[in-house]
Structure 1
């Protein structure tokens, strides 16, 4: 384990001021960092007694909570490579990593049915989790830079990526330094810890000396009210859902997000400007940020430096540049990951250009003050039958701002004009009138007009293949399912 991550364990010991709140549906426990250090030390000792050693890869399948938190830090403490796999796809994820590479497995009671443990040897329990040894492990001490994590990216196809433990803390520090984090801040973290961004936030809070609230997706709204955090990061869909729940009313939004909120960030995809403006008008500082699993945090808007519509300025000056076709290129010798695992060379080289350069696949621009604006995905560009190139997000923005529209998707590849798929809560005359007016307004001066639209009430989810695991549009799947409906 790198010296940087070892620093986290010692920082817990030296900090009796800050706390972690473990928030669940029916209980809430607050523990001081210094007391957590003692608990981590005891769990580390027990892991050693069970035969876990530095360098071993250890998989964990667990929901957010105190047990997963302590075991992750204890595994780091003894030098193991902690592989926290996605709970919903645990079986396939373990198979993808390769059982010959995993020495031990920790599984919570909630997820025992999702993992076939028939070939594993049960050897005990720790923090309420079952611990198994893998008799078939033939590669227990393979020299690796860090854990394998999973990312669906924008393609929706999961890729295995190797984290570089030596750069984890540096990437966390760059983000927390940029946001001007304070000692009295409290960061609410609720997405699954198998999403490595969440661990990066936890490590950054410990390193910086910031209170942590750890909840989960089922209880996050209750956690917001009960713990009043000051810092919060969530995907756009969450803010959109809260906006609709509050009917766009600032007073209701403030009630939903608690009384202490100081800064909130949205990432993964753009938020409609009407929602960003609505939060700000309601006194809630909702900002946009930019990150990439392969690279780490890239850019962020802050209270001091914020340009609506942008994803902020680069955390490291000079690290973000544009290719001749507008693609955003990242450069850093300290990026978060080393590369893909078990991917064809051409797939890896399309992203990991060389030792320092990563191609994002995003198309954008950078203004004179360094603010980065993302205009769409390079591979999502619509090329019409006339050869004109259109970024769909630029078309969709006006429709995503409509209160009746949940999702807007522009279609039109190899066609003379565009069509819109619009997912609405209810199909009625008022929705049609509002949408048709928006189409008319868009078509004024548009080089490629919108001539067709189709309304659907089918929800977009990761389960039905219309969203990725990171809640981004699965454009290929959407197009294959709906293009005929839109253009008929």
Structure 2
């Protein structure tokens, strides 16, 4: 068992609640822009200063008090990532209330469970559809007294209602909030069973933010510039909440983008021009595929692929140099990199607004090749690690010693231990208080002060943590071979045609994979085929070509594992895993058990087809793959 603990925390200890940081910023730097929202009727952004935001929070807090919201009351926010979310959360914290984030895409059953389990007295929703969802479960929720609708002017109504309440009442309530008071009840994604409500204190939410700001804030923008972040990840997830906390506590300008469509996000990046990017691996994968597709459509696909390979090679050489394991890029590589900087890389950065130079990926592991690509084009992407139960991130890359393919080292003040069975254990100030209404689950997770994360990983000799998967996701084949699916799924998703991948094989003779396709790249790929003939024969040959291409993606993924762990059969699915079909959590995690149940017939057919497959078939490359094969020749 290895145990890693770094230096003591660099940040000052918290003395009050989360709302205090906004009030202190308004007193210290009243004119500092802290939030930005879309200007009506244009693609510009209107900046909101610290004092303006504080006054808006105070007005709303007075309305909440007038509505009967008191310290300890729980109020759910069921909305996308929008300006009002930030105002609401800080107003609730200012009066000592607890925020219960709810994904706006949650089902009726999920909404009912969260509101009932948490005992919410109020819920804030966006639109009429959400009002109807909450209304359909209200009858059984005896604690629920208020349903506020943002699009119907709820915040304005609350501000008017609170006009008679003196400002001193808000100040009095804010000052009695203690660091260990509960600030958020964040429900887990519920990949198996009902979601559990994690009680997160003001201290635990502030701890990772303050430590990161103390040690790394200066990397979020060039000297002399105010850092800026475009928030588009859900505030209903702890990752999004941590981004909000970093911005408000660190004086980082934050814009909100509620629309997660590719077009809306691209436009927001272009106009807001953030200096730092927070996203999840699927976003970084999608951006890369869009770069490739755009280049291919312009007839420059081969140039882009050479530029991407050069970027990865250059970044790997730089990494070896900073870790003391090499002399850095050679003359030829530096020359080639400089050429692509002028012709390719700066254009790619411009597509992200032109100012992003560092980023963080979280939620699930980011493949090392993608991390090296982005670093090579001038945007270092730190692969972060954290859980709902740890109030967000608990690791970070040490400056000047970054190592792609890992999630860095434990934050100062946090300890990480890897148990004998590979499970990651964590201890530190950001660990949660426990699960609401579930003492048994709390005892199972917290063992002698250590949080059992359920994640598998390893620590190298320098204390860098690598995540290898989830304990509950490990596949055991009928021969007894244990296979962690994460690495294979990551590698599959690197292929531009692959959107999602789920590795299966429990109690099966070998490992298989269910694959969904990226619709945008699939349309582009089909358009580039030059297959002649009548419609039926052309379509059949297109499907054969598609299966060949996915077979090559599987063979490439197999190159990262041993033969006994390799994928021997696969099935391309006609639909994607989505929240609407119950196969994806609101935080975009795969519901593996549900997927296996949903596609049980397809999985059976896949293994039966493999048993009948002739050796000369197109799957020869996958089925007969050997450790020594070079699948890239």
For the aligned pair, the TM-score class normalised by the smaller chain equals 0.7 to 0.9
Match of 1:469 in 2: 586
**Paired residue secondary structure (1:213):** strand
1:304 paired to 2:424:
no
Q: Distance in 2 between matches of 1:105 and 1:406?
A: 35
1:328 paired to 2:421:
no
Tell me how far 1:99 sits from its aligned partner: 8.5
Match of 1:45 in 2: 62
Tell me how far 1:311 sits from its aligned partner: 1.3
**Paired residue secondary structure (2:366):** coil
Match of 2:235 in 1: 193
After TM superposition, list the pairs within 5 Å mapping 1:254-265 onto structure 2.
254-265=349-360
Find 1:68's aligned residue among 85, 103, 109. Answer: 85
Match of 2:445 in 1: 351
TM superposition score normalised by structure 1: 0.86
After TM superposition, list the pairs within 5 Å mapping 1:242-281 onto structure 2.
242-247=287-292, 249=304, 250=345, 253-281=348-376
Tell whether the 8 Å contact from 2:36 to 2:47 is kept in structure 1 after alignment: yes
Deviations 1:142-184 (A, max 9, x none): x973332211165374222211223321222123334334562
Tell me how far 1:486 sits from its aligned partner: 2.5
Match of 1:137 in 2: none
* 1:398–1:89 CA distance, 2 compared to 1 (3 A): closer
Tell whether the 8 Å contact from 1:221 to 1:256 is kept in structure 2 after alignment: yes
Structure with more helix by fraction: 2
Tell me how far 1:300 sits from its aligned partner: 2.5
Q: Distance in 2 between matches of 1:241 and 1:123?
A: 35
Structure with more strand by fraction: 1
Match of 2:201 in 1: 164
Q: Distance in 1 between matches of 2:126 and 2:155?
A: 9
* 1:210–1:388 CA distance, 2 compared to 1 (3 A): same
Q: Distance in 1 between matches of 2:434 and 2:206?
A: 18
* 1:457–1:254 CA distance, 2 compared to 1 (3 A): farther
Tell whether the 8 Å contact from 1:305 to 1:312 is kept in structure 2 after alignment: no
Tell whether the 8 Å contact from 2:22 to 2:249 is kept in structure 1 after alignment: no
* 1:166–1:256 CA distance, 2 compared to 1 (3 A): same
* 1:437–1:188 CA distance, 2 compared to 1 (3 A): closer
TM superposition score normalised by structure 2: 0.68
Match of 1:487 in 2: 607
* 1:464–1:147 CA distance, 2 compared to 1 (3 A): same
After TM superposition, list the pairs within 5 Å mapping 1:73-112 onto structure 2.
73-89=90-106, 92-93=110-111, 95-98=113-116, 101-109=119-127, 111-112=130-131
1:338 paired to 2:433:
yes
Tell me how far 1:320 sits from its aligned partner: 0.8
Match of 1:140 in 2: none
Deviations 1:83-127 (A, max 9, x none): 333223385435533389333444444533332187646899642
**Paired residue secondary structure (1:180):** helix
Q: Distance in 2 between matches of 1:259 and 1:447?
A: 45
- CA RMSD of the aligned region, Å? 3.2
Tell whether the 8 Å contact from 1:75 to 1:81 is kept in structure 2 after alignment: yes
Which protein shows a greater Rg? Answer: 2
After alignment, is 391-400 or 163-172 more displaced? Answer: 391-400
Match of 1:459 in 2: 576
**Paired residue secondary structure (1:465):** coil
Deviations 1:343-385 (A, max 9, x none): 361x33332224x211111111111111111111111112122
Match of 2:134 in 1: 115
Tell whether the 8 Å contact from 2:33 to 2:47 is kept in structure 1 after alignment: no
* 1:379–1:67 CA distance, 2 compared to 1 (3 A): closer
* 1:252–1:343 CA distance, 2 compared to 1 (3 A): farther
Tell me how far 1:6 sits from its aligned partner: 4.1
After TM superposition, list the pairs within 5 Å mapping 1:54-65 onto structure 2.
54-65=71-82
**Paired residue secondary structure (1:147):** strand
Match of 2:317 in 1: none
After TM superposition, list the pairs within 5 Å mapping 1:119-130 onto structure 2.
120=145, 126-128=154-156
Structure 1's consecutive aligned runs of 4 or more residues displaced over 4 angstroms after TM superposition are 24-27, 117-126, 128-131, 248-252, 437-441
Unaligned 5+ segments in structure 1 are 134-142
Tell me how far 1:223 sits from its aligned partner: 1.6
**Paired residue secondary structure (1:146):** strand
After TM superposition, list the pairs within 5 Å mapping 1:1-40 onto structure 2.
3-13=16-26, 14-15=28-29, 16-23=31-38, 26=41, 28-40=45-57
* 1:396–1:105 CA distance, 2 compared to 1 (3 A): closer
Match of 2:464 in 1: 371
1:314 paired to 2:410:
yes
Match of 1:206 in 2: 248
**Paired residue secondary structure (2:292):** coil
Tell me how far 1:483 sits from its aligned partner: 2.0
Tell whether the 8 Å contact from 2:384 to 2:396 is kept in structure 1 after alignment: yes
Q: Distance in 1 between matches of 2:229 and 2:406?
A: 23
Q: Distance in 2 between matches of 1:35 and 1:439?
A: 54
* 1:305–1:215 CA distance, 2 compared to 1 (3 A): farther
Unaligned 5+ segments in structure 2 are 1-13, 140-144, 162-179, 294-303, 305-344, 523-541, 609-633
Aligned residues: 475
Q: Distance in 1 between matches of 2:93 and 2:211?
A: 21
**Paired residue secondary structure (2:22):** helix
Deviations 1:262-312 (A, max 9, x none): 211111112333433332333222221111001121112366332111111
Q: Distance in 2 between matches of 1:468 and 1:123?
A: 25
Q: Distance in 2 between matches of 1:123 and 1:411?
A: 44
Tell whether the 8 Å contact from 2:73 to 2:98 is kept in structure 1 after alignment: yes
Match of 2:510 in 1: 417
